[in-house]
Amino acid sequence: MPDLGTLCLAEMAFFSLDLAALPDELYDDAVPDEKWFDRAQKVGPGGFAAGSLSAVSPLALGPHLERIINIPLYLTLNWLPFVLPLASAGWYVFTERNNQKYLSMRVVWPASFEQIRGSQHCIFAAIPHGAAPLGITCYPLWSRLGGALCHWTTAPVVLQIPLVGYVLRTIGYIPAKGKEMSKALERRESVGVVLDGIAGMFQSDERVEKAWVKKRKAIVAIALKAGLVAVCTALGAPIEYHAPIEPSKQLVDEYHAKLLDGYTLLFEQHKAAFGWGQKELKFV
């Protein structure tokens, strides 16, 4: 019997959007979504070539210097007095734009996601957190993918920190609480969650990528109650939850297993293209 990744690769086509190469003039709220997505590369069922998703994009000196100075400042919160005046730029603040260039950021999704792209608010469930979740910082992209404003979540205490909370709320963050996420979904807005949280900050084995999501089931219950589509990120195939219901433990377990299968498929589909051909994904 073929493994899950082989089955999925045999049936799917995929898209990749190189955000680092996106022209700066397109990085603006007034630009239509399709100006972005028309630039996406499409490949057939064989997937992306080995190593192609780990290619390093050209990086100009200005963004390079800004990131190597401000990422350490960001991690110690010493950047706030300097970027506070830029908070009015919201999602499109240049520091987050420079992240995309610095990280050679690419976002991948399967053809199955095209059926809902731009028309369905979602829950985007991303892993891993890493030392800092810089991989999610193309904030406008998530709203363009889901067709609705996307709120990423953070620990409630973070939003209470002076200045920090103000900046994060300006770019749409909400507390990582079920009630707050449900309110956003009721408004038909999307929600983004870095599902493994602090546990996902630490990876010590070069052969194994650990995903601390075995017990992270609350997000499934929220999705079931809302009757939404939860999406595995980079992006994986959407998991449909259909009509809103009050979920039983058995149903939560069933759909949580589907979510984990989605992460497995996603990892197996693209690990060779990312340069991780010999690596395995382990849920803990």
Residue of 190, 264, 260, 197 whose CA lies nearest to 222:
190
**Residue 251 confidence (pLDDT):** 87
Average of per-residue pLDDT across 221-247: 70
Report which of residues 86 and 13 the model is more confident about.
Answer: 13
**1 has pLDDT over 50:** no
**Residue 202 confidence (pLDDT):** 79
Average of per-residue pLDDT across 13-32: 91
- Name the average pLDDT for the chain: 82
**Residue 79 confidence (pLDDT):** 53
Average of per-residue pLDDT across 31-44: 92
Number of domains in the chain: 1
**Residue 5 confidence (pLDDT):** 42
Average of per-residue pLDDT across 205-219: 88
**Residue 6 confidence (pLDDT):** 42
Q: What is the pLDDT of residues 236-263, one digit of tens each?
A: 666 766 666 778 888 889 889 988 988 9
Which residue, chain included where needed, has tokens 């898209």?
15
Report which of residues 235 and 159 the model is more confident about.
Answer: 159
Average of per-residue pLDDT across 179-201: 89
Average of per-residue pLDDT across 226-235: 63
Instruction: Tell me, yes or no, if the pTM score tops 0.75.
Output: yes
Report which of residues 4 and 165 the model is more confident about.
Answer: 165
Q: What is the pLDDT of residues 76-133, one digit of tens each?
A: 665 555 555 555 556 777 878 888 999 899 998 888 887 778 777 888 888 888 777 7
Which residue, chain included where needed, has tokens 């979904």?
185
Report which of residues 247 and 273 the model is more confident about.
Answer: 273
- 162 lies in which domain range? 4-283
**Residue 8 confidence (pLDDT):** 47
Report which of residues 85 and 207 the model is more confident about.
Answer: 207
